[in-house]
Amino acid sequence: MTNRLPELGYSYDALEPYIDAKTMEVHYSKHHQGYVDKLNAALEGKKDLQKKDVDEILRDLNSIPEEIKTAVINNGGGHSNHRFFWQLLKKNVPFKGEVAEAIKEKFGSFEMFKKKFSEAATGRFGSGWAWLVLNNGELEIISTANQDSPLSAGKIPLLTLDVWEHAYYLKYQNRRPEYVEAFFNVINWKKVNENFKNW
């Protein structure tokens, strides 16, 4: 199948003032589209891989021919990570559900979880992502570099935050911690809970 930009499902200004409309427009229609286009270019002529969803490819990096491996990790990861990220953004969704209980159990409190996730997001040097994942059934906070996907390490993503500068620079410039703080106002906990229950 040809990979396509998924529907965003909400307007560019839906996350204002925490994530601004201009950033959303450029991030979705330019950056994400770019990953999709470059992934499709890399997979040209690779019929076996074209049949698979990008997540399936990323779960088995050994299935990727050497000559396109880096391109698929970067652009396939870029497509998969953004596709996942967009669905996790919604304003004013309460922190509740089974995942909320599991987070409190694992990290002690919502505040402790927020602190650790924020540290992963602000501490990631250069470009990358912060994640809440399931690792062998256990909640874990990690960060990955560039567009690396936790799927490639056998982990199940539940929540993520893009900390590439393109995700926040227009509004926050170099103030990544302010962007990370703002992110906690737009986490779609209902979706995170679905990810937790359906893994």
Task: Using the minimum distance from each CB to Mn ion, give the nearer residue, 68 or 78.
Answer: 78
In the complex, what is the shortest distance from the CB of residue 167 to Mn ion, in angstroms, rounded to a whole number? 5
Here's the x/- map for Mn ion, 59-78, by CB under 5 A: it reads as: --------------------
Q: Is residue 163 near Mn ion by the rule CB under 5 A?
A: no
In the complex, what is the shortest distance from the CB of residue 155 to Mn ion, in angstroms, rounded to a whole number? 19
What is the distance in angstroms between the CA of the first residue and the CA of the last residue of the chain? Answer: 24
Cα dist. 22→3, 52, 186 in Å?
24, 33, 16
- Of 145, 126, 5, residue with least CA distance to 73: 145
Cα dist. 133→138, 148, 149, 169 in Å?
8, 14, 11, 26
Span of 9-17, 99-107, 154-162, 187-195 interacting with Mn ion by CB under 5 A: 154-162
Here's the x/- map for Mn ion, 164-193, by CB under 5 A: it reads as: x--x--------------------------
CA distance 180 to 170: 14
Span of 116-124, 132-140, 147-155, 158-166 interacting with Mn ion by CB under 5 A: 158-166
Q: Which of 162, 172, 179, 182 binds Mn ion (CB under 5 A)?
A: 162
Task: Using the minimum distance from each CB to Mn ion, give the nearer residue, 141 or 167.
Answer: 167
What single letter denotes the amino acid at residue 165? E
Question: How do 138-145 and 156-162 pair as beta strands?
Answer: unpaired
Residues forming the site for Mn ion (CB under 5 A): 162, 164, 167
